[in-house]
Amino acid sequence: MIDPFTLTLILIAVLAIMGASVGLSMIAGSFVYLILKGFDPSIASETMLQGLFNNYTLLAIPLFILAADIMNIGSLADRLLRFAQALVGRYRGGLGHVNVVSSLIFSGMSGSAVADAVGMGKIIINMMTRDGKYTASYAAAITAATATVGPIIPPSIPMVLYAIVSDQSVGFLFAAGMLPGLLMAFSMAVMNYIMARKHNFPVDEIVPLRELPGITWRALPALMLPVILLGGIYGGIMTPTEAAAVAAFYALIISVTIYRSVSFQDFYKALLGSARSTANVGILVAGAITFNYVITRENLPLTIAEMLSHYELSRVGFLIVINLLLLALGMVLEGGAILLIIVPILIPSVQAMGIDLLHFGVIVVVNTMIGLITPPYGLLLFITANITNQPIGRIIRDIWPFILALMVALIIITFVPDFVLFLPRLLGYQG
């Protein structure tokens, strides 16, 4: 007879392969587990509701999603792109550098790689492919790659999810992502420069320096959003959840009153889109909470910790194994599933190895972001393929150099913890 836990895993995998959402698959599998074990199935419902309603931090997710959707329907993206173009468009492969810088700026507002790729991506891809300056596949590849910075630079929806499962401070996690995010952007800018020299990509339109103050002034209301968010959080004025509400409200106010680029119909569409995205995340969180109860009943985290202890891995060896595991999982699972299902299983082992949980959180999120551009799952690859109407194979061919650049950044992030923890410690983190 098949063990109930094994049967649960098989059921979840089969349902997911058949097209059911991962969240619903986990809920169904958990109910089957409880029935087979002779437990009251209502335990699953109670666990799910308690996990959803007793976690104030979860409120930040729909609010950051709404803020990103409002920014995408307004003219913020256009103004930010013009600002980035004025800064770095004058260099070889200029629009590629504009892509990197604009993603870096937009990431300080949205907290979502998908929002970055969809919002800024459509505009910058059109700019890059106009007049045949860049191939459509290269434009799609660099747009997908630079969007991975979105959830590393604060604010970050994946960081919020990690904070929930690891009981870490969202504010300190946001601070821990700053330098790694800048490192990732720098690595991709270097790779874009190398590719520009190799393929003789053009220098973009050179914006006269005398026009820079005016361009900066027009983009300033949008550029102030990250300042308000981070200043409010680290100044002790707002919690991250309150900051998410401020971000959504501020994005709406400047889009309506200053840029005057959002109609009531646009706002209604943004609300609907945010509701759908929030529902998707909510189902995933609910499923993970329920399935984590099953994992706890099976004592799986401690079992894995004991199994790993038998191999007597050093800290370096352990981190290598963890990175390989997360990269492999990122090829087939979405980041939210990894954060909510896999990470809670690994945390006891991480603590046993003496690895700082804040540092580990950044490692996890960076790995899941690389997973978004790694075949065969590669959600960002499919998004940019849809924008450009390019075969996915061509985009995969052009994205490998950027995956290599991000892997170099990941190595530094993994094995130089002081680099990751420098800003959190500056802000009072004791880890």
Q: Is the pLDDT of residue 110 over 90?
A: no
Among 361, 359, 367, 364, which residue's Cα sits nearest to residue 425? Answer: 359
Angstrom distance (rounded) from CA 201 to CA 416: 34
Could you tell me if residue 15 is inside a domain? no
Indicate the DSSP class of residue 155: S
164 sits in the region (left: phi over 0; alpha: psi -120 to 50; else beta) called alpha
Could you tell me if residue 270 is inside a domain? yes
Could you tell me if residue 183 is inside a domain? yes
Instruction: Please tell me the predicted confidence (pLDDT) of residue 48.
Output: 67
Mean pLDDT of 39-53: 70
Could you tell me if residue 414 is inside a domain? yes
Confidence of residue 84 (pLDDT cuts 50, 70, 90): confident
Among 395, 391, 401, 366, which residue's Cα sits nearest to residue 380? Answer: 395
Could you tell me if residue 248 is inside a domain? yes
User: Please, which residues bridge with residue 92 across strands?
Assistant: 203
Could you tell me if residue 294 is inside a domain? no
Quote the number of domains for the chain: 1
- Stronger pLDDT, 357 or 85, i.e. the higher one: 357
Angstrom distance (rounded) from CA 65 to CA 60: 9
- In this structure, the chain runs to a length of 431
Name the residue range of residue 310's domain. 58-279+299-426
pTM exceeds 0.85, yes or no: no
Could you tell me if residue 349 is inside a domain? yes
State whether residue 207 is helix, strand or coil.
coil
Highest-confidence segment of 12-26, 173-187, 237-251: 173-187
State whether residue 203 is helix, strand or coil.
strand
Q: What percent of the chain has pLDDT over 70?
A: 93
Q: Is the pLDDT of residue 367 over 70?
A: yes
Could you tell me if residue 10 is inside a domain? no
